[in-house]
Structure 1
């Protein structure tokens, strides 16, 4: 992918802090991001994507250490994080308290949480506000002829033009080559459970945990 400069990412981080939307590339897809504590900004993503409110956004955490300050991390969740973060694994994690979760109204409980590599991970580290993200596409856009999540800036622009969503910063990383989703594992209880397969293979999860994960 095309490199993104530190100056560009700093601009994106300041825009997030100001309540604006930004779009950044990943190896998988382009992602639209907002301040996770800013309900108006997050709602503009839900509205533009036609995404059900019950289908929460992903909270991008800067590190496992920061994640531990907000979430209950069971032993198997810790094993997965140490093996695959930063990377292409997301976990459903329980908030440490209702009050902590209430500050992130678009993320849900348990929270879908990841620690991403590349520009998205750098953005989460640079921003002085928590980052909520999702793919750039209409929710449920999975038909045979549907384009799916955006993998180029051109596809991003078509999404913005068709939905009226306003993104202040769009970072051009070229073509996203992987075109596959995060793997999702439910770690809200001590026994981790695979929810959705993706770039991190089910066998890899089983190998780390030392048991067959269904």
Structure 2
């Protein structure tokens, strides 16, 4: 794995499009990424992390418009997107098209975990010609890790321990938040928080209340 600067994002994009894995920083922590339609590349992430296959990877939207094009956006989902995207909130959304969903199995069928990132990860998704699947850069076994990597040095430790072949890690310094995405299930008319995280539950509920 080679460390690169944020202004060398093109190298990471080219690697993803070639079927390789890359790791990029977010405000929360570092994320390992693959082409969401490359099932073999995504399978390498699952194997390296020891991640249960039942836990889907996240789909990183390339733009706000893509959310409505690809997924069924309920009134609550639209309100949450307006309030918090791009940002540190993810939604469980239902794919509009089942055939498209099957092409993106690593991020979930018939529902996917979807987010729009405000930083380097979002830039990666926006500029790439392939869809981006991502998850935290750490082993899934909590007894073998301190948690997701928040520095490039911790990324290097994760890559060594997991024995994953990673083309590049974009060194974005220290991820300051050290916390998860907040996840809201928006597959039904009544949205429901399924995991607390960076975006406070009260803020989520305030946004949802605006449409009820």
Indicate the TM-score class for this superposition, using the shorter chain for normalisation: over 0.9
Deviations 1:147-179 (CA, angstroms, capped at 9, x unpaired): 110011111111111111011011001111100
Q: Report the Cα distance in structure 1 between the residues aligned to 2:157 and 2:107, rounded to whole angstroms.
A: 26
Q: Aligned pairs, how many?
A: 208
Q: Report the Cα distance in structure 2 between the residues aligned to 1:5 and 1:55, rounded to whole angstroms.
A: 29
Deviations 1:53-75 (CA, angstroms, capped at 9, x unpaired): 11000000012211111111111
- TM-score of the two chains, using structure 1 as the length reference: 0.93
- Kindly state the Cα deviation for residue 4 of structure 1 after the two structures are TM-superposed: 4.9
Q: Report the Cα distance in structure 2 between the residues aligned to 1:69 and 1:140, rounded to whole angstroms.
A: 36
**Cα RMSD (Å) of the superposition?**
1.8
Superposition pairs for residues 130-209 of structure 1, below 5 Å? Answer: 130-141=131-142, 143=143, 146-209=145-208
Q: Report the Cα distance in structure 2 between the residues aligned to 1:11 and 1:68, rounded to whole angstroms.
A: 29
- TM-score of the two chains, using structure 2 as the length reference: 0.94
Match of 2:30 in 1: 30
Q: Which has the higher helix share?
A: 2
Kept in 2, the 8 Å contact 1:26–1:120? The answer is yes
Deviations 1:37-86 (CA, angstroms, capped at 9, x unpaired): 00010000000000011100000001221111111111110000011000
Kept in 2, the 8 Å contact 1:33–1:131? The answer is yes
- Structure 2 residue runs of 5 or longer lacking an equivalent are none
Kept in 2, the 8 Å contact 1:24–1:171? The answer is yes
Superposition pairs for residues 62-77 of structure 1, below 5 Å? Answer: 62-77=62-77
Q: Report the Cα distance in structure 1 between the residues aligned to 2:41 and 2:53, rounded to whole angstroms.
A: 13
Match of 2:103 in 1: 103
Q: Report the Cα distance in structure 1 between the residues aligned to 2:99 and 2:35, rounded to whole angstroms.
A: 17
Q: Report the Cα distance in structure 2 between the residues aligned to 1:4 and 1:200, rounded to whole angstroms.
A: 28
Kept in 1, the 8 Å contact 2:29–2:175? The answer is yes
Deviations 1:87-106 (CA, angstroms, capped at 9, x unpaired): 00000000012101001010
Match of 2:104, SS? coil
Kept in 1, the 8 Å contact 2:6–2:170? The answer is no
Match of 2:43 in 1: 43
- Structure 1 residue runs of 5 or longer lacking an equivalent are none
